Amino acid sequence: MADKNERSWAEPYKIKMVEPVRMISREEREKAIKEAGYNTFLLRSRDVYIDLLTDSGTSAMSDRQWAGMMMGDEAYAGSDNFYHLEEAIQKYYGYEHVVPTHQGRGAEHMISQLMIDEGDFVPGNMYFTTTKLHQELAGGTFVDVIIDEAHDPENEHPFKANVDLNKLEDLIKDKGADKIPYVSIATSVNMAGGQPISLGNLKKVRKLTNKYDIPIIHDMTRVAENAYFIKQREEGYEDTPIKEIVKEICSLTDGATMSAKKDALVNIGGFLALNDEELFRKAQNMVVVYEGLHTYGGMAGRDMEALAIGITESVDEDHIRARVGQVQYLGENLLDMGVPVVRPIGSHGVFLNAKKILPHLSQDELPAQTLAAELYLDAGIRSMERGVVSAGRNPETGKHNYPELELVRLTIPRRVYTQAHMDVVAESVDAVYQQREDITGLAFDYEPEYLRFFQSRFKKLK
């Protein structure tokens, strides 16, 4: 009998409840995207057919999670569900102390305020929008120390989230270890296209930071997905359970911020996890100012229960194989069609290379924003810009940051869509790709101060 891993993956669940979706007419879509200022964040979800804006908070919960919701202990203080959550985090991630938050950026806010001083530098394996903003608001400057390969969409490096140890050590020597409060390490790096860091590299980062006595704070939002790639690609881990890989990753770091809305399969929630007792006490005190009491931090008891169960489900071998398998399926379809996408295909989405698809548009004509709007127009598919609009402005010069990567993210929610949905998406991307030469760009019409991509409005260039 064949081992199941030698056979095709299939979803390790069957569907018990469905939510209808519909595609509105082309005229209605034209009106909707215009009213949204050509920003997919400003569309109403009822006007979207297949929603690949994000995998954040969009997962389908299991029957067990829903059953857990009914076990919510909605006490203001000391809810049973908090202790279940704390146990799950200690068991699966190995961090000692937990401060719950309403979502990931709540944890980012606290760690940044607690650890960063004015004039500090925070090295990291590529920026993430909210993470970097909180570092800046605390007076720090983010410094990218990811390997160069990560900025090249066509480079097939299996671990594009790896840290360039020379870049990191040069920074430490240049600025001094006392100016570096921690190194920020993300697993499954979002802006690089959902790319993993290897355990080999992380061990070297640990060794280097130990030498200078610098902590590592882990953005563990998609740690299980990263672990899956380690199992697939890193020598020596072929037979290691995902659970063990996840725990080993966490053991190499000193604390973590988590947006539980991704890997951990809940619609809302997050936490800050720390090993250092003193820092934990400070965070526990700070959370009451910004989020809520330290045993709920902005979450309802039922949300904490769903999260405790979601953590368990997230490290299940069959789950993670099917989850990443579905993303790979869409990516390979697009590669077969000749559409330029970030390679290797990432863990949580397929990233279209807008620079290559729309080479006639300069970065000032916002190729990725334009492509996302065109995709919506074609078949009501919602995606997200990850290029110059997302990169924002340099806080000192006020000028646009021009990232190497100008991408459109087709993000796959967990346990929500079927392979047939993926086929329809690929068909639509191909249709837009075929008419790429006729596509004209966009210009800013309104730009808010913070995280501009969420609320900016654009106008069509002729």
Whole-number Å distance between alpha carbons of 162 and 365: 31
Which residues does residue 352 pair with via DSSP β-bridges, in sequence order? 341, 408
Minimum CB distance to ligand P61, residue 262 (Å): 6
- Write 433-441 long-range contacts (CB < 8 A, 24+): 433/337, 433/338, 433/339, 433/357, 436/357, 436/358, 437/360, 439/358, 439/361, 439/370, 439/371, 439/374, 440/361, 440/365, 440/370, 441/358, 441/361, 441/362, 441/365, 441/366, 441/367, 441/370
From 128, 142, 271, 433, the catalytic residue: 128
Residue number of the CB atom closest to ligand P61:
104
Instruction: Check if 262 is active-site.
Output: yes
Instruction: Check if 263 is active-site.
Output: no
Q: H/E element holding 84?
A: helix 80-92
Considering the complex, state which of residue 172 and residue 411 has its C-beta at the smaller distance from ligand P61: 411
Whole-number Å distance between alpha carbons of 333 and 339: 9
Interface of this chain with ligand P61, residues 53 to 72, rule: CB under 6 A? 54, 56
Cα-Cα end-to-end distance for the chain: 61
Which residues does residue 192 pair with via DSSP β-bridges, in sequence order? none
Polymer length of the chain: 462
Among 105, 109, 321, 355, binds ligand P61 (CB under 6 A): 105
CA dihedral 413, 417, 423, 429 (to 10 degrees): -40
Please count the residues of this chain forming the interface with ligand P61, following the rule CB under 6 A.
18
Asked if residue 344 lies in contact with residue 354, where contact means CB atoms within 8 angstroms, the answer is: no
The span of 27-35, 99-107, 330-338, 423-431 binding ligand P61 (CB under 6 A) equals: 99-107
**What mask of x and - would describe binding to ligand P61 in positions 389 to 418, judged by CB under 6 A?**
-x----------------------------
221 by Cβ neighbours in 10 Å (0-12 / 13-18 / 19+) ranks as buried
Among 82, 95, 128, 417, binds ligand P61 (CB under 6 A): 128
* Sheet with 216-219, edge to edge strand ranges: 97-101, 270-274, 255-259, 216-219, 183-186, 121-124, 141-144
Minimum CB distance to ligand P61, residue 336 (Å): 26
**Among 408, 429, 403, 436, which residue's Cα sits nearest to residue 152?**
403
Among 123, 196, 270, 298, binds ligand P61 (CB under 6 A): 270
Among 131, 184, 295, 333, binds ligand P61 (CB under 6 A): 131
Instruction: Check if 206 is active-site.
Output: no
Q: Does 81 bind ligand P61 (CB under 6 A)?
A: no
Considering the complex, state which of residue 131 and residue 333 has its C-beta at the smaller distance from ligand P61: 131
Minimum CB distance to ligand P61, residue 174 (Å): 27
Considering the complex, state which of residue 188 and residue 370 has its C-beta at the smaller distance from ligand P61: 188
The span of 74-82, 129-137, 236-244, 298-306 binding ligand P61 (CB under 6 A) equals: 129-137
Q: Does 190 bind ligand P61 (CB under 6 A)?
A: yes
Q: Does 132 bind ligand P61 (CB under 6 A)?
A: no
Considering the complex, state which of residue 104 and residue 403 has its C-beta at the smaller distance from ligand P61: 104
Asked if residue 30 lies in contact with residue 378, where contact means CB atoms within 8 angstroms, the answer is: no
Q: Does 186 bind ligand P61 (CB under 6 A)?
A: yes
What is the set of active-site residues? Answer: 76, 128-129, 219, 262, 386, 453
Residues at the interface with ligand P61 (CB under 6 A): 54, 56, 103-105, 128-131, 186, 190, 219, 221, 259, 261, 270, 384, 390
